[in-house]
A and B are shown apart, each in its own frame.
Chain A
């Protein structure tokens, strides 16, 4: 691993097909870029990948190398330089928030608004729509001093106004 060079954020979005990751990472490796972090999933069947990679290459060179990926118009590729962020030391407490119920607009914004209201930070978020069921699972970091039990009550109140249910549970970590 190297932390030399510029940090680039690359997104690839669009029609899914086999081989997108293999093709993309092959081109990035050929440029001498190191993949420092990545996330890929299918969103309603659409390919969605974000990569953060480092190396002594310009954004224009990366964009040129990846241009064939977007050539047929089914995928969109973006390349942007990002600053190095200091990874924050683990502070506060970690929680998992689950919300599920009938699908309707505003579920995520309403519930995470309550979390934001106490200075909580969402560090990971997944939403799924499965038939009529809408599901939100979020990992939440709460500042020291925030009462998780009281926050859960506030979240449940906000959720019930939307006709959905919510639970907030402390993350259990097994230290080995």
Chain B
């Protein structure tokens, strides 16, 4: 089984978000970067499938040099080799085009990634990669088992789940509980240092969306505390002040 896992390099969930340069750039001062949490689940399932069936896991990131520690972490978790496409990932179509261009020559049985990145929250790249390659793309996939040349999946839908069968190859945008989240061990960290990380130039692609600037949501007011013995006051506030009931 030959598996491609696409990962994002994103600020840790707990990061305080702020912007600089007149709200046109993300302020990365003091921010810790991680593998996108949904991508982490995709990677964990890929490593499990490799352990069951043999084969290899290639991890791919579209990003500039600062993403390499994140890519090394993916190698430490169990990917065999890595590819970094040397470009800033500013548009979903541009990223999808880079992934599709690499995958076209790779002969992968499946292409896994997270359902969305936790910075831009678009949830578009897996579908675009599927369309560019003429492959089925399913998302958000919460269960993935391989039987022969068929993948059996469960996809989350609003208020439930849908069960799917599809022949390989395919693209999947993953989420929990598809696999047990893996933490790199010392052996993995040591071996990751010597695994190949190939840097390649991006292919030409248009960027149909252009980011103009960022905005912060309005600041939240102070919480109004209500005595536990006076729930009537809460009902009053919800009815007359918030007007939500």
* Same complex: no
Which residues of B approach A to under 8 Å, CB–CB?
none
